[in-house]
Amino acid sequence: MREKKVWFITGAGRGMGVDIAKAAMAAGNAVVATGRNTDRIRSVLGEADDLLVVKLDITDPADAQAAAQAATERFGRIDVLVNNAGNFIAGFFEEIDSEQFRWQIETNLFGPMNVTRAVLPVMRRHRSGLVVAISSTAGIVGQEFCSAYSSSKFGIEGWIESLTLEVAPFGIRTMLVEPGFFRTDLLTPESTVYAEPSIDDYAERTRQTIAAWNSMNGQQGGDPTKLAAAIVRLASLDETPLRFVAGADAIETVERKARDLLAQADAKRELSSSLALDDASSPVRGRPR
């Protein structure tokens, strides 16, 4: 297996996970396709010598360990981990109950952490590997009706940024993928759960938002097969980007956020610059306060 890479993909039974798995196999790689429904994975990916289908609920650490072990027993190594599986809980913050909010974080943040924690020892043994995390422009900028989802994706961003520095000495790289609007199944009933309306003040905005999103479903401009091919292409490079901002709309979002951050930093520059201690002692810069 040394002449090809071994890809470990979560959520490979539908949506973007299917496209990534197909693109990786088309490029001559071995694929470990994981998901909760293995029959569905087999139905969309078929059978192949270099394909291993493994049951994996990413919220279960034991499942993650077992899947990583199955991958190494079959192929001997894991070269590329794609943390793709996730869901979308939408609604206004006051109407998303604590259990739903925790479920969102458990799936979209702690799930990828469970899988990465299981795979990293394999990569460290080989002193190489790439951890890909499918984030979102929702991890760059927040918007109404997305407080839970954005919280999970902002968490992914901070976690991967920090992990990058921790695993670099072992030859392990990371890549955040930040898609804009792609024609995936994110807005379908299988992927999106709406909070139960309970507060009259939000009722009309909830109705308008859900109607707008329903009309958007299936009309997004991004092609997921092209995104999958781009991810496979980037993974083959000796130096992968720390971030891949995917889609013209995503680039526009990131550029706008960058301008906003600079403007906000500059707005109170004089006040911010006057907050140092008057004596010579000061904390080491760059550490959390």
pLDDT at position 155: 98
Residue 289 lies in a domain: no
pLDDT at position 215: 72
Is position 153 annotated as part of the catalytic site?
yes
Residue 37 lies in a domain: yes
Instruction: Tell me the pLDDT tens digit for each residue of 175-216.
Output: 999 998 866 665 556 667 889 989 999 999 999 998 887 777
Q: What's the CA angle centered on 274, arms 270 and 275, to 5 degrees?
A: 130
Residue 258 lies in a domain: yes
Residue 42 lies in a domain: yes
Name the catalytic one among 149, 150, 151, 194.
149
Q: Which domain holds residue 47?
A: 6-272
Instruction: Tell me the pLDDT tens digit for each residue of 111-168.
Output: 999 999 999 999 999 999 999 999 999 999 999 999 999 999 999 999 999 999 999 9
- Number of domains, the chain: 1
Residue 33 maps to which CATH number?
3.40.50.720
Residue 286 lies in a domain: no
DSSP code of residue 218: T
pLDDT at position 222: 74
At residue 32, what are phi and psi to the nearest 5 degrees?
-105, 105
**Tokens describing residue 278:** 């008057």
pLDDT at position 226: 92
Is position 273 annotated as part of the catalytic site?
no
pLDDT at position 103: 96
Residue 260 lies in a domain: yes
Residue 73 lies in a domain: yes
Please state whether the predicted TM-score (pTM) of the whole model is above 0.85: yes
Residue 197 lies in a domain: yes
Is position 149 annotated as part of the catalytic site?
yes
d(CA 92, CA 42): 37
**Short-list 116, 48, 15, CA closest to 35:** 15
d(CA 1, CA 229): 21
DSSP code of residue 79: -
CB 254 within 8 A of CB 200: no
Name the catalytic one among 5, 22, 135, 194.
135
pLDDT, the chain, mean: 92
pLDDT at position 180: 85
**pLDDT tier at 2 (50, 70, 90 boundaries)?**
very low
> Residue 83 above 60 pLDDT?
yes
DSSP code of residue 4: S
